[in-house]
Every structure is written in C-alpha cells, then in structure tokens.
Amino acid sequence: MKPETKGQVQLSKLIFTHNWEDPAMDERALQIKADDTVFTITSGGCNTLGFLRFNPRQIYCVDINAAQTYLMELKQAAFRYLDYEELLAFLGLRHHPKRSLIFRKLISDLSPEARSFWLNNNSLIEKGIIMNGRYERFVKIASWLLRTLQGYGKTKRLFGLKTLEEQKKLYDTEWNNGRWQWIFKTLFNKKRLAKGGLDGDYFHFDDGSASFSESFHKRAGHAICDLPVQTNYFLALYLLGHYQNEKSIPAYLQQENFNVIKKNIDRIHPVTADSKYWLEVQQDNLFDAMALSNICELMDKADTHKLFSEVLRTSKPGARLIFRNLMIPREVPENLQSNIIQDSDLSKEIQFQDRSFVYGKVAAYTIVK
C-alpha cells in the first residue's frame, strides 16, 4: 500500500492480535461458497483465516492500521511454513522456550515493512502473539480482576457446567452479586464515557436498557445464562484470560482445519487502507460476501454513507453482508435500505447466538440490485 493512499491514517501500534467477533455468526450471515470473492476487515485475522475453509477464490482483508496487516502477513507465513504443533507453539497456545527461533523460519516470507515491524517487536513474538495486542493485554488484566472479584474456584466451576439450567442457577444464586454489578457501573460510568465522547443519554438501547452499564450487564448475563459456556472461547478469554482447552478455540486453529487453510493461504490479500477509499477504486459487482466489523462506529454520517454506497456498488446482486455495532448505533443509510436489505430473522438469530456477546448489534443483509 502506497503511503499517499487517500484518507489513510498512519497507525502503527498493534491493537488486536485476536478477533473479538464470533466467526460462526459471520459464517451464518455470509454463507461463503467455493470461488466467492470476499471482503473483510483484517483486525486480528482469525475470522478471515477461518473463511479459507470454504475455499473462496480470494479474500481482500483491509485495515487502516498497518500493524494489523503485518499481523496477517505473520499469521499467513506461520501457516505456510510451520506444522500444526509449531503453529500452536508460535502463536502462544503451547509452551515454547524461544519463539524467536521459530520466527526465523518465517522472516523471509514477510514484506520489508512487516519484517522490520516484527524485528522491532520481538518481545511480542517471544510471549506468543495471540493474547498480546493492546486490547488482548487489557482483556488479560480485566480477566484477572473479574476472577479475583468472583473467586477463581467459582470461575472454574462455571466452565465445568454442562447445561444452560446449571449455568442460569449459578448466575442467579452466586454470580450476579454486588461485586459483579459494581464492575459494570464502574467500567461504563456515565462521567467516564462522557469524557471519551459517549453520552449515554443520547442513545437508544435496543434491549430497552437505560444506560451503557445496564446494557453491558445484560449482554454478559445473556452469555452466561443463554449460551453454552463450554464452547464459548470468548467468555473463557474474558474470564480466564486464556482458552479453556485446545478444543474450544477458533476454527482457524482447530487441527482438522489446518490443511485446508494451509492449502488456501495465498488466497488472502492483506491491504492497508481506509476501507471506504479502497472500495472506491475497486470494480463494480466484485464481492460475494462482505464483513464490515464495527468500523461504522468510527465514522460520521457522511463517511458511513460513503462506505455503504461503495459496498453497494462493489457487491454482486445477491451478495451477503454482516456488520456490528459495539456501543454507537449505526445503520445502513435510509436511501440505500431498498438495496441493502436486512434479513430480520437471521439478524435476530445471530444477535442472540453471538458468543462474543458484547455487541449492541450484529446484523445480516442481502444486496438487491
């Protein structure tokens, strides 16, 4: 990507090394088929890598932050040159005494920019990158705090429960205590959010909540009571700080998917750009499926309109789309809603089933032209 690319912000800190969006919901919404051309936001790269299981023709993954592109290059190199055991050790799922020795096998596969980025961030490589982006480090600290407040024994017990009834009982009788409620009031404190530019009084919460703290408390309660905890690796990361075991991990890391992802690894094309400007220079009717993450929350109304206009132009008739909102409500602009049509039943279902549970909106759309 050339530095003069229109609208590109020069970001270079690695924020995400993991995707915090449930790929199973992306896959329900996008229905990726063999030979599809797919658009994604790179972020931690996990979901994009998992999409290779469906043998798409190509995936363009775009991120405004160059460090996320370097992460994707590194993960691609790891799939190209490592066997499964080494991959898990390199990423940090298994112990390894010196990961920089594995990195040596990958270095010549990287672009000069990615190579220099990773050489300057060798400490992240040594620790195992998967839980060492900025956000992941925050999650590990938060998980320590949550475990300490709830008690380690109770947290372990939660992940041993086998039925939703048992989960709900534990939540009602032991989990949803004053300390748990305090966490949400403190994290989503009105004054603190207002300092960050988020005034809760202006927001309408789809779940009927009166505040961010109430809404996030409900979202977490839903994850604990209504979705099986044993297969929820997001909940494990937020509460334990690591995956529960090697079974409950993202699809791209599961052993049975390793060979197909390795075979298709060159079909991912990482790009550093602001997606709305990158899409502007792509041809009409290119994409069969598009996953937009929650990037609209970082845009004003005019930019959101620009993005969705480009999404409509560059997607094929019948293409599928998913996007999310975490905190700030965003919607397809009104004048595009007859071409970018929300599938309400599927949206309700993926919103409910979403194991990553923090999003205020997870919605699926079909393009009609």
Chain residues that interact with ligand SAM, rule: CB under 6 A: 15-16, 19-21, 41, 43-44, 62-65, 68, 274-275, 293-295, 298
Closest to ligand SAM by CB, 36 or 274: 274
Tokens 């990423």 map to which residue? Answer: 91
The Cα–Cα gap between 243 and 250 comes to 10
The residue (of 46 and 82) whose beta carbon lies closer to ligand SAM is: 46
Give whichever of 16 and 216 is closer to ligand SAM, judged by the CB atom. Answer: 16
When the beta carbons of 5 and 58 are compared against ligand SAM, the nearer one is 5
Q: How far is the CB of 89 from ligand SAM (least distance, A)?
A: 24
User: Rounded to the nearest whole angstrom, what is the least distance from the CB of residue 44 to ligand SAM in the complex?
Assistant: 5
Q: Which is nearer to ligand SAM, 210 or 298 (CB)?
A: 298
Nearer to ligand SAM, 20 or 216 (CB): 20
Task: Provide the minimum distance between the beta carbon of 233 and ligand SAM in the complex, in angstroms, as a whole number.
Answer: 13
Q: Give dist(CA 358, CA 120) in Å, integer.
A: 33
Q: How far is the CB of 189 from ligand SAM (least distance, A)?
A: 22
Closer CB to ligand SAM, 201 or 300, in the complex? 300
Residue placing its CB nearer to ligand SAM in the complex, 53 or 324: 324
CB of 73 to ligand SAM, least distance (A): 14
Q: How far apart are CA 54 and CA 145, in angstroms?
A: 39
- Residue (of 309, 149, 146, 164) closest to 228 by Cα position: 164
Taking the complex as a whole, how short is the minimal distance between the CB of residue 357 and ligand SAM, in angstroms?
12
- Distance of closest approach, residue 67 Cβ to ligand SAM, in angstroms: 8
Minimum distance from CB of 41 to ligand SAM (Å)?
5
Which residue type, as a one-letter code, is found at position 165? E
Nearer to ligand SAM, 7 or 228 (CB): 7
Q: How far is the CB of 106 from ligand SAM (least distance, A)?
A: 21
